[in-house]
Structure 1
């Protein structure tokens, strides 16, 4: 690939995933990733701190969720606001074109404890972003925290279902179903 081609972050992410799959995470360097993407090391570090971060989206999802919760209808309950955010994530992040990448990414993360740890930290950041966004809507702290945790759980369940789906279900539909399932299961506790 020529260096002038657009979408450097996406090219780097795809190159990293390919190399992590082929060689293993431990046996892949930042220089390997940049070269595979047809870019230089400096370009890599313009977008990512290290090779772990190339798989974690640079915080864009948290911003998307925060904005979507803020844009939810004024009369939305906390969980409806979270569902509104999950719809936005489905439209912007979990697109049909990303299904294969997401499934491969999940496999790479599952195989490496360092990446599983980073994924757990990312999820904590997601919960914190949702909590803050809900509190900014006037939701009391405890209610915001519970709704955010339920939303993160629903998002994780939807992510698993979406990556494995063969019937073309979109992420938003699966996320809303997962949120319904999570709500229903809380009544059993």
Structure 2
């Protein structure tokens, strides 16, 4: 005669086998192990033109110089995109951006290259990491320094993208809404 412990153990194993069989039948036997190639899909970066146009801004290509091109290695400059943003045919801003795995290093190099160029006329310097619930963290560098550029400059790093924005006075609200939409 089997001991009570052994009998209990056999009943438990029988229950587990029954549950496993029922699960297999109910799911249609479709369970598969994920391959090494699968995983969490990387979020694609937003389309600047589509988002800008959805906010009432017109977008035009530009060859205006930007500060990012000065800190990027020559091989990375080919990935740099730049556009002029117009509101009611009035220039609201220029925006340039680069996608790179090295975007944190590029942002750090940009900050280091700007520090010695700041003049005594530097105003409203913001250099911080911003975190909001439900959004990815973003590094922000913003300032107004006529010795560097007559317009307010804003640099924003989020995920693997770095933006450079030259804001025309009077269009700060539109540009800030655009940046919020681009960095969600």
TM bracket, shorter-chain basis: under 0.3
Q: Please tell me whether Structure 1 or Structure 2 has the larger radius of gyration of its CA atoms.
A: 2
Higher helix share: 1
TM-score, with normalisation over the residues of structure 1?
0.22
Higher strand share: 2
Which structure would you say has the larger RCO, counting Cα contacts within 8 Å and 6 or more residues apart? 1
